[in-house]
Every structure is written in C-alpha cells, then in structure tokens.
Amino acid sequence: MIDISDGLASDLGHICRQSRVGAEIWQDKLPISPLLIEAARDLGRSPEDLALRGGEDFELLFTIPLSRQTDLTASFMEHNLAPPAQIGRIVRPENGINLLDTKGEKSPLNGGFEHFKQQE
C-alpha cells in the first residue's frame, strides 16, 4: 500500500519495483471526477493524464489477492464506506507496467510528479 501523492503512475512503479511484479491499469476504470475533467480542460491536459501523473491526490493504492476482494468490499460496505475501485491487476514482472486503453492496446505507464523537476 502507498499513498499516491506523487501520481498513480509513479507510485504504482514503486510498488511494482519493491514487489518485483508488473501491472496493468485499465484506463476505463480510473476514477475520474467531474472536477478533474474541468481542471484538465482548464489546464489543456487530458483527465486520464492528470489522474495518472498529477500529484497531491491523497488516495491510497494497494494490492490484494483476487480471492480477498469480496471480503474487502463487504467490510467497506459494512462500515458505510464506498468500496475501493479495482483499476487493474498485477502481472508477471517481464510484462512491465502498462496502461490498457478501451481497445485493449497497451502502452508503457510511467511518469508522475517529481518534486525537484523544473516545470515547463
């Protein structure tokens, strides 16, 4: 588990490197709010890009075995919490870290917020 304050793409990379795994993120499962869509339009960026590479999200990213997903969802609902969004899956390390678009096309997922990088 990691907070995604440096962006989902960057912090997912940390989890994958430490766990020696790869990952697939499903573009159509990214939780994107109407406010994010509005901010992206104002910044001239795509909402997906901000969701993946923007910083200061203050959300948690974690992995669990698929066999525990039902128990976890029930636990959240029991406490009147919205269940976590499943946005992808863990894969073999040789498959890398990829974003799957709505057509199933893979592209490498990298980038994220870098604290000391000069902004363009």
Structure pTM?
A: 0.84
Dihedral angle sign, alpha carbons of residues 10, 61, 42, 97: positive
pLDDT of residue 116: 55
2-3 and 60-61 beta bridge pairing: antiparallel
Domains observed in the chain: 2-108 (3.90.650.10)
pLDDT digits (tens, 9 = 90+) for 68-110: 999 999 999 999 999 999 999 999 999 999 999 999 999 999 8
